[in-house]
Amino acid sequence: MKQTRGFVVAMAVTSLLTGAPDAQARDTVPFDADAEVTFKGGSHVRCGDTITEHTRLTRDLYCPSSAPFALQVVGEGIVLDLGGHTVRRTGPANSASQGIALWSNSMVRNGTVQGFGRAISTPEDSNTTYVRLHKLALLDNGVGVYHWGSFATFLITECRLSGNVRGLSGEFDASNGNFDVRSSVFTHNEIAMFADYHGIDVLDSTFTANGSAVYCWHGTVRFRSSTLAWNDAVSTIPNDGADARVCSEMRFENTLIANNTAFAPATTPVWEPLKLSMLDSLAVHNGTELQVAAQTVYIDGNTFHDNAGGLTLSTREGPTTPGPLTGIVRGNQFLSNDGDGLRVEPPSTPTVINNLALNNTGFGIYAPTAFDGGGNVARNNTAGDCVGIVCAMY
C-alpha cells in the first residue's frame, strides 16, 4: 500500500480542520459527562454486585468469565465512575460474559473494561433507552458496546475501543437504535462499528488499523470531521437482493480517508447503499478505487488524490432501486489516480458539473450516459480526458 507523504497529510488535515469548528458547533451535546455527583458507594464493591446508587470504584476488579456479569447497574440515572480503575475478565474467554450490564438509563465513565464477551451491554428485557459512556477504554472484548433492545441511544464520548471483535454492535434481529459517537478512537478492532437496524453518527473521531471501520448492513452511517486511515477496509456495504436489510445512506462530511488498504474488502468490493453522500472530504493514497452502486449520490467538493483508482459509479440492482443511478457529482477533484478519475457506468445518469480531472492514468472523466452540467475541466489523462461530456482544458 502507498505510504502517506508528510506534506500531503499535513495539508489534508489543515484543510479539513479549517471547517471543523462549524461542524462541531452543530448538533453538539451538553457536556455533562464530568458533572459532579455524590457517590455513596465504591470501596466495598465486589464482582457480581448490583449497583443501585452513584458509585465510584476505589480499586481494580478481576472478575471470572463464568459469572453472568462483573457488575450490573440497576436504577434510573445512576453514575458508575470506575475511578480510573479496570474491570477485567479472569479465566477462559466466554462470549456470553458481560462486563457491565446496564438495566436502565445510566452512565459509565472513567476507566477500563477488558476481556469480556460484551464489555458494556444492555441485557435482554432491560428498559434502557439512553446510555452515556465517557472516557472509557474498552479493550479486547468480543463486543465493546452491545445493544439488545429497542429504540435506545448510546452517547459515546472520548472513549477508546481497541482489540475488540466488534466495537459497537447490536443483537441480531432483536435491537434497533442509535450510536452517537463523539471524539473517540477505534483501533485494531476486526469491525469497529456494525450497523444493523441502527443509525450511527460519528463526529471528530479516529479509526485506524481496524479490519473494517464500519459494516453498514441496515441503517445509516454518517462521519463528520473524522479520520479513517490505515484500515484494511473503510467499509463493507452489501446488497442482499430481496432481503429486507439495506444500508440507507453512507455519508462523509469534512473527513479524511487516507492510506487504507482498500475502500471495501475483496469479498464485497462494491459499496451498495441506497444513497452515497460525500462532501468536502479527502481520499488520498488508498489501495483501491472507490466503487459505488447506488440509487442516488450527492458527491460535492471532494478530492481523490493518488489512489489506486478514482471513483466509479454504477446503478444498484434490486427491488429497492427501480431505475438508474441519479444525483449530483459537482466540484470534485480527481488527481493523479491510477485508472480513471471519475467513471460513470451506463445506464447511470448523474449530473456531472464543475469537476477537475488531472494526470490520471485512465480517462479523466468517463461518463457516456451522465448529464453534462458544464464547467468540467480535464487534461493530461493518459487514456483521454473526457467521454460523454464536454471538458475544457482550463
For residues 182 and 159, the answer to whether their CB atoms sit within 8 Å is: no
Given its phi and psi angles, is residue 12 left (phi above 0), alpha (psi -120 to 50 degrees) or beta?
alpha
Q: In this structure, what are the phi and psi dihedrals at residue 22, rounded to the nearest 5 degrees?
A: -65, -40
Closest CA to 33 of 114, 106, 120: 106
Question: What does the alpha-carbon distance between residue 9 and residue 17 come to, in Å, rounded to a whole number?
Answer: 12
> pLDDT tens string for the chain (394 positions)?
333 334 344 444 434 433 433 333 334 344 467 777 777 766 789 999 999 999 999 999 999 999 999 999 998 999 999 999 999 999 999 999 999 999 999 999 999 999 999 999 998 888 899 999 999 999 999 999 999 988 899 999 999 999 999 999 999 888 899 999 999 999 999 999 999 999 999 999 999 999 999 999 999 999 999 999 999 999 999 998 777 789 999 999 999 999 999 999 999 999 999 999 999 999 999 999 999 999 999 999 999 999 999 999 999 998 877 899 999 999 999 999 999 999 999 999 999 999 999 999 999 999 999 999 999 999 999 999 999 999 998 8
Residue with the three cell numbers 493523479: 336
Q: In this structure, what are the phi and psi dihedrals at residue 296, rounded to the nearest 5 degrees?
A: -150, 155
Report which DSSP code applies to 287: S
